[in-house]
Amino acid sequence: MARILPKFAPHIGCQTVNDIEDRIKTMLSKSQYKMFCTKSIFGFFMKKKDCVVQAQLGRCIMSLEIRESSTSAIVIRAKGTILHFTIREFALVTGLNFATNKDEFVFDEECPNRIIDQYFDGESFVQKKDLCTAVSDKIWGNYNDEDELKFANLYFFHAFLLSSVDTVSIPRLHFDLVENGSYSDYPWGSVAFEELARSLHKKLKPKGKFYMLLGMPLAIQIWLYECCSNAPRNVASKVDSQILRIFNWKTNSPRPRYETLMGSMFDDTDDKVRKEFNDVHGLGSSRFDQMMNAINENNVQHIYIYSICTFLQLSCYLLFIFYLYFHVLNVKKQAKGSESDQTPTDENVKSTSLHQATTKFVHEFTKNPEGTLASKFRTFILN
């Protein structure tokens, strides 16, 4: 059963902070930024090129998703090829950890968390927007490198890896991971992939109007660039050849249209037209061969007789034309030789001149060429 896509273009939203490297650099001093790049497990992302999330690619993925797709593997069909985006492809693009078991990271939530108590007044729920405000205000103060780096990591989690709406509550687990330093062993790759897959898998509905991309949509976007042999230059450009694919691309258009992306990266119309043309051409050739075989087997005698009759008919017409031409020439010669010697003996006898006869014949031939020729031919044969 074919999928029914939305009649009107839905809005695709994404809260990813695309210039995360600039944001981190701005919130930290030079020494702290250098420390973040060297000590944080996310420091290597600061080498990311100018690559922004193109939200309409999410709509393309939703439109191309097939039945075999799931939250563990986003499966799409593009240009007649089945593509699988799994946690392994995600890791190849991002380099994030997915090997450890997230269920092993358990903390006693009865024990207070220092960051929550000190900077968020011990609130039970801290929303993403509260974290962004704390980062903007540099709530940790001066000469507090330790907490500043912890806030930088928290901000990186929720502004880039686990992008979501501003009102989402930050799990207590994330504060505990940062506080005791075990965040570096946590499988952030698995969590980011799961969030992304859930926001894409079977989300596109016929009457849907708004969709939000969660997790790290930049990962699947770059994977599509890698899979697409003709990524258009006005969409993205490959600028490097590193192992982690996220460092190899930069985007050239922040908001390409859905129609542009489908037409340039995923459209297989040419292949369909070519296939349909070949099918029709093959069918036509087959029908033609069948027809000719039937003719050869069953109707050879009829075709032979018809051809002979047609040849004889044309031959007779040509013979009559030659006869008429030479007859007219002979009459002209006789008329010129006897015009001065012969006079009509009976004035009541009506004679028709050669000019009148020729004019009459031409007039009759113009009105009914086949009938006139046939009549003259019959007269010629009988005489």
Tokens 């981190």 belong to which residue?
24
High-pLDDT (> 90) share of the chain, %: 56
pLDDT at res. 85: 97
Phi/psi for 123 (5° steps) reads -60, 145
SS3 label, residue 99: coil
With a cut of 50, say whether residue 98 has pLDDT above it.
yes
The pLDDT tens digits for 138-182 are: 999 988 999 999 999 999 999 999 999 999 999 999 999 999 999
CB atoms near residue 117 (< 10 Å): 12
The pLDDT tens digits for 174-202 are: 999 999 999 999 999 999 999 999 999 98
Q: Tell me, yes or no, whether 325 lies in a domain.
A: no
The single-letter code of the amino acid at 348 is N
With a cut of 60, say whether residue 267 has pLDDT above it.
yes
In the chain, % helix, strand, coil (3-state, to 5) comes to 60, 10, 35
Q: Tell me, yes or no, whether 321 lies in a domain.
A: no
With a cut of 60, say whether residue 372 has pLDDT above it.
no
CA 165 – CA 158 distance, rounded (Å): 10
Q: Tell me, yes or no, whether 284 lies in a domain.
A: no
Q: Tell me, yes or no, whether 93 lies in a domain.
A: yes
Q: Tell me, yes or no, whether 297 lies in a domain.
A: no
| Summary mean pLDDT of the chain | 79
Q: Return the higher-pLDDT residue of 146 and 281.
A: 146
Q: How far is CA 32 from CA 27, 28, 149, 182, in A?
A: 9, 6, 7, 20
Strand partners, 210: 11
Q: Tell me, yes or no, whether 62 lies in a domain.
A: yes
pTM of model > 0.85? no
pLDDT at res. 367: 52
Strand partners, 264: none
What does the pLDDT average to over 37-63?
A: 94
Q: Tell me, yes or no, whether 5 lies in a domain.
A: no
CA nearest 53: which of 10, 85, 16, 20? 16
Domain count for the chain, please give it: 1
Residues 6+ apart with CB under 8 A from 143: none
Tokens 């704390």 belong to which residue?
134
What does the pLDDT average to over 51-57?
A: 94
With a cut of 60, say whether residue 221 has pLDDT above it.
yes
Q: Tell me, yes or no, whether 4 lies in a domain.
A: no
115: its two tokens: 């960051």
With a cut of 80, say whether residue 304 has pLDDT above it.
no
* b/e per residue 38-50 (b: at least 16 CB within 10 A): eebbbbebbebbe
With a cut of 70, say whether residue 382 has pLDDT above it.
no
Q: Which domain holds residue 189?
A: 11-272
7: its two tokens: 């009649």
CA 202 – CA 199 distance, rounded (Å): 8
